[in-house]
Amino acid sequence: MRQDFPHEPVMVDEVVDIFATVPQGVVVDATLGGGGHAEALLRARPDLVVVGIDRDSDALAAAADRLAPFGVRASCHHARFDDLRAVLVAAGHRPGTVSGVLFDLGVSSVQLDRPQRGFSYRFDGPLDMRMDPSGGPTAAELVNGLPEAELARLFVANGEGRLARRIARHLVAERPILTTAALADAVSRSVPAPARRRGHPARRVFQALRIAVNDELGALARALPEAVDVLAAGGRCVAISYHSGEDRLVKAAFTEAVTGGCQCPPALPCGCGAVPRARLVARGARRPTSAEVERNHRAESARLRACERLPIDEDG
């Protein structure tokens, strides 16, 4: 692992393996981070170039350093991945000709472990959580500004169960909450004792706020169909997700691409004229090996799905 950006890329052998057969050309690394996956791909396939995207300029700077030895084969772009088509065009590549798109979702270990970024209940820092600190609302603005019912809805939508309303009520009573330690403490005190014994009770609340602050699910839902659209025939889209909300979106977007949106009863021939755009590379989601999980605890919740673009009918 690199000392300047200590993030261990997840399922890197599986990613390299899935991209082993794609046509030569451009791979978009839509979540470049410190460039671990990108470096592995550039090493494994000398006929590929990588267009890297990240909304976090600290990550981009680390990736630019790491990928410098590859010269013009790697470029780094400060953008959101739902703008991947515009990034491609600006970098001089035609949509529809791309060999691969990779999403390694969520946050990096570096983002989580820097207290000043405000992502983690394990450290004290400002309640920020923006992947791109140059704009958009902070977690503090949501915690201190949203009505109680909206806070509760946000916690429910992003994984907090039946305690969501109770936690939201408690947080509203404790406002203003300005630091990660203050939030973690307020959440801990808001839940009954048994809930405190199942891991840190603030874990899901922090995740829910991070997802909302960065509009993670909205950006992913917009980006996935674009990613399939920009692929050339034989090009592949790979997505690694870390929680069920992300994985559901990946599965739905790939199913839509594979069926062309066909809703006809499975027992009958399709009569709706839907045109499949892709095939699944493997059924279901792949999981990391137990050896990888042992080495890198962050890999534990990873689920990898992949699809391959079918030959494109120019009339369709």
Ligand X SMILES: C[S@@+](CC[C@H](N)C(=O)[O-])C[C@H]1O[C@@H](n2cnc3c(N)ncnc32)[C@H](O)[C@@H]1O
Which residue ranges make up the site for ligand X (CB under 6 A)?
A: 7, 9, 31, 33-37, 53-56, 59, 80-81, 104, 106-108, 131, 219
Q: What is the DSSP letter of 264?
A: S
Shortest CB 157 distance to ligand X, Å: 18
Q: Which amino acid is at 75?
A: S
Q: How far is CA 264 from CA 142, 270, 274, in A?
A: 42, 6, 9
User: How many helices and strands in the chain, by DSSP H and E?
Assistant: 14, 7
DSSP letter at 296 equals: -
Instruction: Characterize 276-310 residue by residue with b for buried, 16 or more Cβ atoms within 10 angstroms of its Cβ, and e for exposed.
Output: ebbeebeeebbbbeeebbeebebbebbbbbbbbbb
Give me the least distance between CB of 2 and ligand X, in Å please.
9
Report the distance separating Cα 118 and Cα 114, nearest Å. Answer: 7
| Residue nearer to ligand X on the CB measure, 36 or 118 | 36
Residue 93 vs 210, nearer CB to ligand X: 210
Minimal distance in Å, beta carbon 56 to ligand X?
Answer: 4
Question: 177 or 227, CB closer to ligand X?
Answer: 227
Of the pair 60, 258, the CB lying nearest ligand X is at 60
Question: Which bin fits 300, alpha (ψ -120 to 50), beta or left (φ > 0)?
Answer: alpha
- What 3-state class would DSSP assign to 289? coil
**CB closest to ligand X, residue no:** 33
- Identify which of residues 99 and 214 has a Cβ nearer to ligand X in the complex: 214
For residue 230, give the nearest of 126, 112, 86, 123 by alpha carbon.
86
CB of 67 vs ligand X, minimal distance in Å = 11
The least distance separating ligand X from the CB of residue 182, rounded to whole angstroms, comes to 25
Least separation in angstroms between CB 31 and ligand X: 3
Closer to ligand X by Cβ: residue 104 or 308: 104
